Amino acid sequence: MQKRKLLYEGKAKKIWETEDRDLLISEFKDSLTAFNGEKKSSQEGKGALNNKISAALFEYLNNRGIPTHYIKMLDDNHMLHKRADVIMIEVIVRNIATGSLSRTLGIEDGKVLPFTLVEFDYKNDDLGDPKLNDQHCLILGLVEDEAELEYLRYMARKINKFLQEFYSELGLRLIDFKLEFGKDRYGNIILIDELSPDNFRLWDMDTNEKMDKDRFRQGLGGLLEAYTEVLNRIESRGDK
């Protein structure tokens, strides 16, 4: 499978057409961005780590009946996946308060939420990815009806349950994360994008050490070391 036409280049990936119109290749970049692109950097090897971690998690979810776009990892930086029409909603799943939730609502950082919170953000860099309610989603035509919104919430909570179990076995707490969904050629809603520490907050269960992109956001350093540790724990877990 070969890269043909470049379809899209974002902050973390390039997406290429292939000789099969239904299959695309994502190329994971080494670039780092935070605060809607205001803070930028690059670290060699970051893209490969995100690709490998994402591939492992997609395989894990596929094996548990979650429909995703993932097909296989081609090499360190490239993933083969199905073409999908992106739903322009970022689905945010929160188990523990931190980041913008704590800043905006004054909830104590690190407080375990009484239930899993699912939020919607508008996937629009120009507008700064604002928060959406259900009526916003319908007015903007981001989904066909309320049933699709409920399905996104249902899938987000189901994926969260699986991933909490997965990371718990690795000694990591899943704090919050972002998911993206799209529609395949048959109109089915499937999980897309990536599943990496760029989009997940992960804290070590014993030390509360941050093992995600907050190391870049907060200037803590050691991002590659943290991502490598996450991958090493995944690989040591084996296929369970």
Domain that holds residue 119: 87-221
CATH number of the domain where residue 128 is located: 3.30.470.20
Instruction: Please give the structure tokens belonging to residue 30.
Output: 């080494």
pLDDT of residue 240: 57
Residues 47 and 104 in one domain: no
Average pLDDT over residues 20-32: 97
Average pLDDT over residues 116-133: 96
Residues 120 and 206 in one domain: yes
67, 56, 68: which is closest to 238 by C-alpha?
Answer: 56
In a domain, 234, yes or no: no
Classify residue 192 by burial, with Cβ atoms within 10 Å: 0-12, 13-18, 19+. buried
Instruction: Please give the structure tokens belonging to residue 2.
Output: 């070969």
Sorting pLDDT into bands at 50, 70 and 90, what band is 95? very high
Q: Are 211 and 226 in contact (CB under 8 A)?
A: yes
| Residue 13 reports pLDDT greater than 70 | yes
Residues 119 and 209 in one domain: yes
Reported as a single tens digit per residue, the pLDDT across 132-146 is 999 999 999 999 999
Among 30, 55, 82, which residue terminates a domain? 82
Sorting pLDDT into bands at 50, 70 and 90, what band is 214? very high
Average pLDDT over residues 110-115: 97
Average model confidence (pLDDT) for the chain? 96
Residues 191 and 78 in one domain: no
| Residue 239 reports pLDDT greater than 80 | no
Q: Are 203 and 210 in contact (CB under 8 A)?
A: yes
Reported as a single tens digit per residue, the pLDDT across 68-86 is 999 999 999 999 999 999 9
Residues 94 and 177 in one domain: yes
Residues 160 and 57 in one domain: no
pLDDT of residue 237: 84
Residues in Cβ contact with 222 at an 8 Å cutoff, skipping those fewer than 6 apart: 215
